[in-house]
Structure 1
Amino acid sequence: MQSFLIRTICLVGWIYMAISPQSVLAQPKGEPITIGEKFEMESSVLEETRPYIIGLPDDYETSGQSYPVLYLLDGDGHFHHTTGTVDFLARNGRMPQMIVVAIPNTTDRTRDLTPPILKADKSRFPTAGGADNMLRFIGEELMPEIEKNYRTSPYRVLIGHSFGGLFAIHAMVHRPELFDALLAISPSLWWDQQQLVEQARTFLLKNPEYEARLYMTMANEGGDMLGGAWKLSAVMEEKAPAGLDWEFRLMDEEDHGSIPHRSTYYGLEKIFEDWKGVDDPLVLYDRGGLEAITAHYERLKNKFQLKDLKVPESLINRLGYQLLANNRTEEAITVFKKNVEDFPKSSNVYDSLGEAYKENGQKEEAVKYYKKSLAINPGNTNAVEMLASMGVDYESEDVKISPKVLQSYVGTYEVNPEMRLSITVDGTRLYGEPNGGGKAELFPMSENRFYLKVDDVQVEFNRNDKREVVSITVYQKGEGIEAKKVK
């Protein structure tokens, strides 16, 4: 399997390189922005080498979570705007983060994306009809490859445009088990005298228990393109089972080339319309307590098959402080305790619980939890200040590390080719510097574990049986990510 990095390219700079080398050389060197990686695999089904492009969530390397997967047809043309849309909607709480798997075209797009021709004249498209093989490639080769190499949840979405939209409807009818949601953008349902529409009618009649989500759009195109979409819409209106949540949207202001971007945005919003965070946790808490908040996230976890989904630490923390602000201190303590149970490796959850106990006049408990917070993150200056306000002096243990040990940590550590951390020594001080980031001093907690004073980050150095340093584990809010020593 071969990997190629996909980076943003400055077209203007490329043009100037051809006509004015001196002006390009005068420009400062920037940090590349990586939006994905391109791979190749041999397909026995299609009997050719097939490329695919992977876009991972920004927090993939640190979260430890599994993610639903979006499969994208015509991937070379739509990867950039689709990954941007997914990231934007996820950051705004409209959908979960997803792994995007883009499937570029190779030698014959028509062959790969069209169903077999049953009635129409085959001479116009002599190589057409390979959609079933393409579905086999996706289901039997590509999906297992993705699920082997990445942390995936079972929920899958397929997006296709034009022939790709036709393919999406074909996938729903002929391989319904592959995808939980489908987005068909200006589907070419005129294909083969609209035979797929009739196949859809038969499929829906025979599968009353079918459950999925379908979002279909059509640009200002008219003719057989629009006619096929209206006909399928009528079939859906009449025959769709209760478990098939579908919508057809006509976008008169778009043409065939411009429609994918807005369709992707609105389609993902529709598919994940139930993916709603809790705008005001106190309102939901007052309706049904912590159980109501937990039940909300359980519903999301079950609906979208996200086994790792938890009530967010930040949400419970926010609720606790809302209760404190309303003088409901005992309830705040109960709420903060839930965060301690769910996120025992986070320094912040102990700090918040300590504050609640302090507000409640329970000094002994407050001191206990502030010290627990500091044991995880000695750089928590708020905890030190709160202890001092209660007359408790706190000094972190003065850990001395020999120069020989410090020198053994020096090197470059790699999470992936685009995420590296350099460790250096200056006298008796250890420093870490991520690529593209600033240099920060690492303070010792023990011989092999250090912390940053500027953030809740700890770095642990790992040795093999020969006592050689082979990797580091970087912890933030209790979650760890390993980086191997490469030099």
Structure 2
Amino acid sequence: MQKIQGAPEAIVVAIESKNRTWDLTPTVNQDPRGPVGQGGGADGFLNFIEKELISYIDDNYRTHDFKMISGGSIGGLFVLHAMQSQPFLFDAHFAYSPAVWWADRTTAKRVKKFLTNNKTYKSYLYMNMGNESGEMREVYEDLLSFMKSNQPEGMRFVNQAFPDVPHGLTSAAGQFNAYHNLFFPIEMPTIKVTNGVQSIIEYYAKVSHQRGKIIAPPEMVVNRIAYEFFQRRELETAVALFKYNLKTYPNHTYAYGGLADVYQSMNKREEAHSLIKSALTLLKPGDEAYEYYKNMDAELADDNKDKATF
């Protein structure tokens, strides 16, 4: 994903636990279907991650402020516990087959309370479930239903079901979609443009946050999106997008040409001609598209001359 710019570079930190049940569960279990009397160390473990581990990674590696946490089974339980108890420690949470039945469904109840009390929560959550049955699935399905009905504004939530995948493999089964749905590709899909130029500005702000550096909307991407609106005859949006592209890339000839195409279709030939002449000042004979713009310049000059004569 990183090689095709579908995701930024990432550092994966795997933590080996000497007592997984203690570290990953927030409460002591009294349910006879699980290890009775065990668990309860999750808050201490999360404190270690926040105060010691993250600081160590930041001090010793090339990082920026975008963090994800991932876990399966009681690791998934820990991920949900982290989300509701330290909601801004991580930007994204991956909970594979989370064991939310643990200890009288305590974490599931806390997650419900968190969602009820927070109408806005800008984060990302991926959850999935395999072929698990019984209490494991029952509690998960109940929590899933609640999440779908009480999803805070700004929270991106992705859920998947794998009916034929066993419990131990749901992390492997879900990883691609977990990351694919999290990261905004540098090439913005047209479907994401719901509010013209503002959509593009907001989209690339998110891309920049995920990558830890300013990512400007690429000229060719905005050009492509603008032409798609032009082809759909949504001319007002197309003009706004082409103008934004031209303002952002005043030295790119295609930014002039795109806006000229729209103006020409709207019979604003003088405006189109002015743009083409500006584009030609950036080109010289032999450059790519020089002849195309030269011919368009002559065509518009003739049209405007005939118009003046008439």
Is residue 1 of structure 2 the alignment partner of residue 96 of structure 1?
no
Deviation at 1:249, TM superposition (A): 1.3
Instruction: Identify if the C-alpha distance between structure 1 residues 333 and 166 changes in structure 2 by more than 3 Å, giving closer, same or farther.
Output: closer
Residue 122 (structure 1) shift: 11
Instruction: Verify: 1:277 aligned to 2:184, yes or no.
Output: no
Aligned to 2:251: 334
Q: How far did residue 187 of structure 1 move?
A: 0.8
Residue 278 of structure 1 deviates from its aligned partner by 5.0
Deviation, 1:276, is: 4.3
* Structure 2 counterparts to residues 15-94 of structure 1, below 5 A: 89-94=1-6
1:135 corresponds to 2:52: no
1:259 matched to 2:170: yes
Match of 1:359 in 2: 286
Change (3 A) 1:187 1:295: closer
Question: 1:263 Cα shift?
Answer: 0.7
2:137, 2:252 → 1: CA distance?
54
Aligned to 2:148: 237
Asked if the contact 2:30–2:36 (Cα under 8 Å) also holds between the matched residues in 1, the reply is no
Question: Structure 1: which amino acid aligns with 2:104?
Answer: Q
- Tell me the distance in 1 between the aligned counterparts of 2:44 and 2:252: 53
- In structure 2, distance between residues paired with 1:237 and 1:318: 33
CA contact (8 A) 2:29 2:39 kept: no
Deviations 1:139-169 (A, max 9, x none): 1100111111222221111110111111101
Distance in 2 separating the partners of 1:206 and 1:292:
28
Whether 1:192 aligns to 2:103 is yes
Distance 2:148 2:208 in 1: 29
* 1:92 Cα deviation after fit: 2.9
Q: Aligned equivalents of 1:214 and 1:318: distance in 2?
A: 28
Local SS of the residue matching 1:110: helix
- Tell me the matched-pair count: 233
Q: CA deviation at 1:240?
A: 2.4
- 1:380-414 deviations in Å (ceiling 9; x for gaps): xxxxxxxxxxxxxxxxxxxxxxxxxxxxxxxxxxx
> Cα–Cα, structure 1 residues 358 and 278, in superposed 2: closer, same or farther, change >3 Å?
farther
CA-to-partner distance for each residue in 1:222-260, whole Å, 9 max, x for gaps?
A: 111111210111221232211222122110121112221
1:184 partner SS: strand
Report the counterpart of residue 246 of structure 1 in structure 2: 157
**CA distance in structure 1 between the partners assigned to 2:82 and 2:202 by the alignment:** 33
- 8 Å contact 1:213–1:245 — kept in the other structure? yes
Change (3 A) 1:174 1:193: same
Partners of 2:69 and 2:90 within 8 A in 1: yes
Letter of the structure 2 residue corresponding to residue 334 of structure 1: N
Residues 288-331 of structure 1 show CA distances to partners (whole Å, capped at 9, x for unaligned) of 8xx998775344214x3x4423349xx669999xxxxxxxxxx9
- Aligned residue for 1:216, secondary structure, equals strand
> Percent of counterpart pairs with the same letter?
29
1:333–1:357 contact (8 Å) kept in structure 2: no
Q: What are the residue-to-residue correspondences of 1:77-476 with 2, within 5 Å?
A: 89-105=1-17, 107-117=18-28, 120=31, 124-272=35-183, 274-277=184-187, 297-302=204-209, 304=210, 306-311=211-216, 334-335=251-252, 356-357=283-284, 359=286
Q: Is the 8 A contact 2:97 2:128 kept in 1?
A: yes
Cα–Cα, structure 1 residues 146 and 221, in superposed 2: closer, same or farther, change >3 Å? same
Displacement, 1:132? 0.7
Instruction: Report the 3-state secondary structure (helix = DSSP H, G, I; strand = E; otherwise coil) of the residue aligned with 2:13.
Output: strand
Contact 1:319-1:335 within 8 A present in 2 as well: no
Question: In 1, Cα distance between the equivalents of 2:114 and 2:222?
Answer: 48
TM-score (norm 1): 0.42
Conserved 8 A contact 1:159-1:182: yes
Tell me which moved more, 153-162 or 92-101: 92-101
> How far 1:124 moved relative to its partner?
2.9
The CA deviation at 1:113 is: 0.8
Change (3 A) 1:220 1:103: same
